[in-house]
Amino acid sequence: MGTLPVNSTVTINDTDSFHPVQQVNPVHLAHVYSKCQDPYGPPCVLNTTTVSENSYSYLDNLDSGFESTAAIEIKTKMSSRQKIWIYAGVPESQANFTELDGGSNCAQINQYALDWALQNAGWMCSVRKNFAPLFFFFFFFFFDFVGMLPLTHTHPHNVHIIIIDSKTLTRYYNVGEKMVMGKDIGPLNDGPVWIWTRMRYVQVIDCKTNSPYLEVRSPMLRTPINYRVRSAAGYHYCKAFLQQKLWSGFILTA
């Protein structure tokens, strides 16, 4: 979100924290903890924090083995690009909120995530121990127990053992359902509305090629630094992809 001016000497050091985004006691918000005087002066570091929370399918709690174990979206609280520019030393008069935050910034972020997932297709989570053959169950149980297998313990019965090979990725490019980022939904400048509005996936037919694709739209909240509610000023919230969910989609549609 905090894309800096071209040729700026400012860098961003961000720390992301995982918290329930609806929690208000204490409340968890994005912050900028330092300030630079000149975006083109001596090298300067902006120390920032963001807040994230994974959201899972309602069917995940059934532990049936039929639902992907990856989060379906990441609720993400960030400082607005306008705020980042001002803290980077850009005069407030030159940090136009409409120009910096008025577009579909969440779609840009999700496009970066999609591009990264395509370039780094690798380990992918979808197999559950209780549905694995007996041999694999004991194999993974033993190595998991002795700490020799680098498992991801987001769920006690999940293991990351499926690899997306080049053939699967080629099939995805040839016959898989492609994702296209649509315009952001909003602004939903009411916290609960943004929190409980999920990413929207709509199958669309391309009129020119008559081929289907999946349009993805992110709910978005954005406020300028002079927002009327001071405690809510200078933020930009998005719903973001999780790469494991994208990899799961690559396999299913290929």
Identify whether the C-beta of residue 119 lies closer than 8 Å to the C-beta of residue 111: no
**Any residues with CB less than 8 A from the CB of 89 and at least 6 apart, and which?**
10, 35, 36, 37, 38, 39, 41, 44
- Give the pLDDT score at 2: 64
pLDDT confidence tier of residue 58, bands split at 50, 70 and 90? confident
The more confident residue out of 242 and 230 is 230
Evaluate if residue 157 carries a pLDDT over 50.
Answer: no
pLDDT confidence tier of residue 3, bands split at 50, 70 and 90? confident
Structural domain boundaries of the chain?
52-125+162-253, 127-159
DSSP state of 184: P
Q: Return the percentage of the chain with pLDDT > 70, whole number.
A: 78
Evaluate if residue 151 carries a pLDDT over 50.
Answer: no
Nearest of 36, 52, 34 to residue 44 by alpha carbon: 36
